[in-house]
Amino acid sequence: MKFDIITIFPKILDSYFSESILNRAQLKKLITIKAHNLRDFTLDKHRKVDDSPYGGGPGMVLKADVIDRAIAKIKLKNKKIKSRIILFSLRGKKFDSKVAKRLSKYDQLIFICGRYEGVDERVAKYIADEEVSIGDFVLSGGELAAGVVIDAVSRFIPGVLGKLESLEEIKGSYKVYTKPEVIKIAGKKRIVPKVLLSGNHKKIEEWRNEI
């Protein structure tokens, strides 16, 4: 899987991608992640990526012509390769585990990260395959959304998760405890639920499914 991020802040996610599971997945060549500077696809000497909105109003709008040029360069041309262009937008389809699983079937995902007042609507209409929102809150840009989607999608790619994490994937989320068995928090003894120490796997399973 190839992830391509189109952004005006290409270094912003580097640190997150270079640790832990996503770093391992890249080293194992299961995924590649590349951030592209939108400015590299401008033609003018000021490398202008945005302009004021038609009809007035505050803020700047990312230019569709520059994004179109970026896509033309980044989208893999091989007919056999399944690419999907995703625009991050508050009006998009809400991202969840189902969407993540569906997206994990593509060979290339290209993310367009908005900033400021958003992106010229012609990108949503004529360039992107779909619009995605990661939740009902406003971020300053689409980059964190790209990080969230890349992380969640990667977990569905065979080989990305180790044994421990894949177990979690199957069972879903349950409450967990680790050593020591008894600790003092603000002066009070706090213990681990007895069932977890019982060695009774059936009971433990039931307890985990209960909550």
Q: How far is the CB of 151 from ligand SAH (least distance, A)?
A: 14
CB nearer ligand SAH, residue 61 or residue 161: 61
The single-letter DSSP state of residue 53 is P
Q: Which residue is nearest to ligand SAH (CB)?
A: 114
Tokens standing for residue 145:
């959304």
Binding site for ligand SAH (CB under 6 A): 88-90, 113-115, 117-119, 133-135, 137-139, 141-142, 145
Nearer to ligand SAH, 24 or 53 (CB): 53
Asked if 194 and 62 count as a contact pair (C-beta separation under 8 A), the reply is no
For residue 7, give the DSSP letter: E
Closest CA to 112 of 99, 125, 100: 125
CA-closest candidate to residue 160, choices 12, 26, 19, 18:
26
Give 22 or 87: the residue with its C-beta nearer to ligand SAH: 87
Sole residue written with tokens 């580097």:
14
Closer by beta carbon to ligand SAH, 7 or else 154: 7
What minimum distance in Å lies between the beta carbon of 154 and ligand SAH? Answer: 18
* Least distance to ligand SAH, CB of residue 204, Å: 38
Distance CA 32, CA 99 (A): 20
Residues in the chain: 211
In terms of CB distance, is 136 or 210 closer to ligand SAH? 136
Token pair, residue 164, equals 């421990």
What is the closest distance, in whole angstroms, from the C-beta atom of residue 125 to ligand SAH in the complex?
15
Residue 138 CB, nearest approach to ligand SAH (Å): 5
